[in-house]
Amino acid sequence: MIALNRAFSFNGVISMSFLVKLILSVGIVWMIEYQYHPVGNTHILHYLIVYLVYTIYEVYFLTKLGRG
């Protein structure tokens, strides 16, 4: 029973982490748009690349931690 409870807790932490990261990411892109009014959308592409690399790293690390 304890292992099942830990699994639900671990999944909750992962889900909350992704949700917070997504909200912060959208907020940062919005702040850049609002404050600097950049020409073009290349800044969004660069931000998405960094976001994807970090997400892949986070999934790998948390999967390794969850199995451990």
Q: H/E element holding 18?
A: helix 2-36
0.75 surpassed by pTM = no
pLDDT above 80 (res 41) = yes
Q: Average pLDDT of the chain?
A: 82
Q: Could you tell me the pLDDT band of residue 40, with boundaries at 50, 70 and 90?
A: confident
Q: What percent of the chain has pLDDT over 70?
A: 87
Q: Which amino acid appears at position 45 of this protein?
A: L
| pLDDT tens digit sequence for 5-29 | 766 677 788 888 888 888 988 898 8
The tally of domains found in the chain comes to 1
25 by Cβ neighbours in 10 Å (0-12 / 13-18 / 19+) ranks as middle
Judge contact between 47 and 28, C-beta under 8 A. Answer: yes
Name the residue range of residue 26's domain.
Answer: 2-67
pLDDT above 60 (res 45) = yes
